């Protein structure tokens, strides 16, 4: 089998890539909807792939892996990797989890991720209401994650931190950063307490905190919430679109608190998780398969983290439904350090109509049952998807 083409089309807000072969089998990958500008970067790799055997996934990836980087530039590489696994699974007539060593669990735990209620007022009462809304959801989540402090509108309230909050920008990934005021710290802690009063010990609470914290504030905050038994505090020091790791600073934070510290969604490749894991700089790592280099890369990181006593909770909020399928396949194969993955959703809702193979409902009791259909187990239906293609992409399925 040989690769004959690499194509990319915008379907809704997502760049979708398709790898075609001389045997009529295609594999699909999806890029986060925050990154529509990556379409030409994806197509840049076409000449690297033509004529290659897509079932030799690692051999093909070695041709292009060095050309990726931290978020957002690892996304194109990651989407190609997942499309190759989709192709390899279809060619073998096997689900991708079989090619990764086989599933060790029949269902995978997820948390809310892309399903969240806007919090227009930054008050404890509003955060408590959001927690009640989440508990009433039909998905039955056993874990919920809530953005707070620098990962929420809270950072733009008066006198929250000693710095200037940037005006809204037409880019994703801007970070406010600075020392928090006494008011800001108190507000964040009051909102955590309000959510815990609602969730109790029935639903685990994780916090998406930044980036934006200074180390001194991160230590004070993490110590102050120890009594709430949080699952983790995420991205306090670095995070989304930060092109470095800072393992030494994270290690100081982790050593200062019993609250588990989590990071990793923006990091590209296993080599850049090495210090975080070996130095026990965090208690939880959260690579995103659509940014880290793909699902095999994520599995390698999970195995290495497990050897060092570090937990795994993969990121995935903007990855769409093809990204969801990839997360299901790989998370079914991860070791016992797996906690849950961040649930993507179809946005807009018509995404659920143009895919074949996705269960309905997707989530039951906080879990997704692992399916055994070949490849990633879901496919875009060309006839139902064509109305959503841009005019320049109408030949995508030909």
Is the pLDDT confidence value at 172 over 90? no
Q: How confident is the model at residue 390 (pLDDT cuts 50, 70, 90)?
A: confident
Is the pLDDT confidence value at 170 over 70? no
Is the pLDDT confidence value at 185 over 80? yes
130-151 pLDDT, tens digit per residue, is: 999 999 999 999 999 999 999 9
The span from the CA of 77 to the CA of 290, in Å, is 8
Given a contact cutoff of 8 angstroms between Cβ atoms, the answer to whether 330 and 100 are in contact is yes
* Rounded mean pLDDT, 92-118: 97
Identify the CATH assignment for 99-375 out of 3.90.1150.10, 3.10.310.10, 3.20.20.120, 3.10.50.40: 3.20.20.120
**What is the DSSP secondary-structure string of 117-182?**
----S-SHHHHHHHHHHHHTSTT--SEEEEE-GGGSGGGGSTTSBSSPPPPP-SSS------PBPH
DSSP state of 364: B
186-229 pLDDT, tens digit per residue, is: 999 999 999 999 999 999 999 999 999 999 999 999 999 999 99
Beta strands 204-208 and 143-147 are parallel
The span from the CA of 310 to the CA of 356, in Å, is 36
233-252 pLDDT, tens digit per residue, is: 999 999 999 999 999 999 99
The span from the CA of 280 to the CA of 250, in Å, is 9
CA distances from 58 to 76, 88, 97 (A): 16, 11, 16
47-101 pLDDT, tens digit per residue, is: 999 999 999 999 999 999 999 999 999 999 999 999 999 999 999 999 999 999 9
DSSP state of 388: G
Please name which of 106, 89, 107 lies closest in space to residue 98, comparing C-alpha atoms: 89
pLDDT of residue 165: 73
DSSP state of 227: G
Token reading at 284: 């939880």
Q: How confident is the model at residue 396 (pLDDT cuts 50, 70, 90)?
A: very high
Q: How confident is the model at residue 164 (pLDDT cuts 50, 70, 90)?
A: confident
pLDDT of residue 169: 65
Given a contact cutoff of 8 angstroms between Cβ atoms, the answer to whether 193 and 207 are in contact is no
pLDDT of residue 167: 65
- Tell me if the pTM is above 0.95: yes
Residues 6+ apart with CB under 8 A from 206: 111, 143, 144, 145, 146, 230, 231, 232, 233, 234, 262, 313
Average pLDDT, rounded, for the chain: 96
* Rounded mean pLDDT, 167-191: 88
Is the pLDDT confidence value at 337 over 80? yes
The ranges assigned to domains in the chain are 3-93+381-393, 99-375
| Cis peptide preceding 72, ω within 30 of 0 | yes
* Rounded mean pLDDT, 164-178: 76
Given a contact cutoff of 8 angstroms between Cβ atoms, the answer to whether 313 and 287 are in contact is no
pLDDT of residue 99: 98
Residues of the chain with pLDDT > 90, as a percent, come to 95
Given a contact cutoff of 8 angstroms between Cβ atoms, the answer to whether 30 and 19 are in contact is no
* Rounded mean pLDDT, 359-370: 98
The span from the CA of 208 to the CA of 206, in Å, is 7
Q: 3-93+381-393 falls under which CATH superfamily?
A: Enolase-like, N-terminal domain (3.30.390.10)
Q: Which residue has the higher pLDDT, 25 or 163?
A: 25
∠ CA 269-273-276, rounded to 5°: 170
């Amino acid at each position: 089998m040989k690769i004959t083409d690499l194509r990319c089309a915008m379907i809704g807000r997502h760049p979708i890539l398709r790898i075609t072969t001389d045997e009529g089998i295609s594999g699909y990958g999806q890029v986060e909807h925050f990154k529509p500008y990556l379409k030409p970067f994806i197509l840049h790799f076409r000449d690297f792939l033509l004529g290659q055997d897509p079932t030799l996934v690692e051999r093909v990836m070695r041709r292009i892996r060095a050309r990726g980087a931290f978020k957002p530039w690892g996304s194109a590489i990651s989407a190609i990797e997942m499309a190759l696994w989709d192709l390899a699974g279809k060619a073998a007539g096997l689900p991708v989890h079989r090619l990764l060593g086989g599933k060790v669990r029949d269902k995978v735990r997820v948390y809310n991720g892309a399903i969240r209620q806007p919090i227009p007022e930054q008050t404890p009462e509003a955060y408590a209401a959001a927690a009640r809304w989440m508990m009433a959801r039909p998905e039955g989540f056993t874990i919920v994650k809530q953005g707070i402090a620098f990962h929420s509108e809270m950072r733009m309230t008066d006198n929250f931190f000693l710095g200037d909050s940037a005006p809204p920008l037409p880019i994703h990934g801007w970070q406010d950063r600075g020392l928090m005021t006494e008011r800001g710290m108190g507000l964040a802690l009051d909102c955590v307490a309000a959510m815990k009063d609602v969730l109790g010990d029935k639903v685990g609470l994780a916090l998406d905190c930044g980036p934006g914290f200074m180390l001194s504030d991160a230590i004070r905050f993490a110590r102050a919430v120890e009594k709430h038994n949080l699952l983790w505090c995420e991205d306090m020091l670095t995070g989304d679109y930060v092109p470095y790791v800072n393992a030494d600073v994270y290690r100081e934070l982790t050593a200062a608190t019993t609250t588990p510290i989590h990071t990793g969604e923006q990091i590209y490749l296993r080599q850049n998780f090495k210090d975080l894991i070996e130095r026990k700089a965090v208690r939880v790592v959260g690579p995103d398969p659509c940014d880290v280099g793909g699902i095999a890369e994520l599995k390698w990181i999970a195995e290495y983290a497990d050897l060092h006593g570090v937990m795994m909770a993969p990121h995935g909020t903007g990855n769409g439904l093809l990204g969801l399928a990839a997360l299901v396949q790989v998370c079914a194969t991860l070791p016992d350090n797996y906690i849950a993955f961040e649930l993507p959703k179809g946005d807009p809702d018509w995404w659920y109509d143009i895919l074949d193979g996705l269960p309905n409902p997707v989530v039951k009791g906080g879990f997704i049952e692992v399916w055994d259909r070949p490849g990633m187990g879901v496919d875009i239906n060309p006839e139902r998807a064509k109305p959503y293609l841009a005019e320049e992409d109408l030949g995508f399925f030909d």
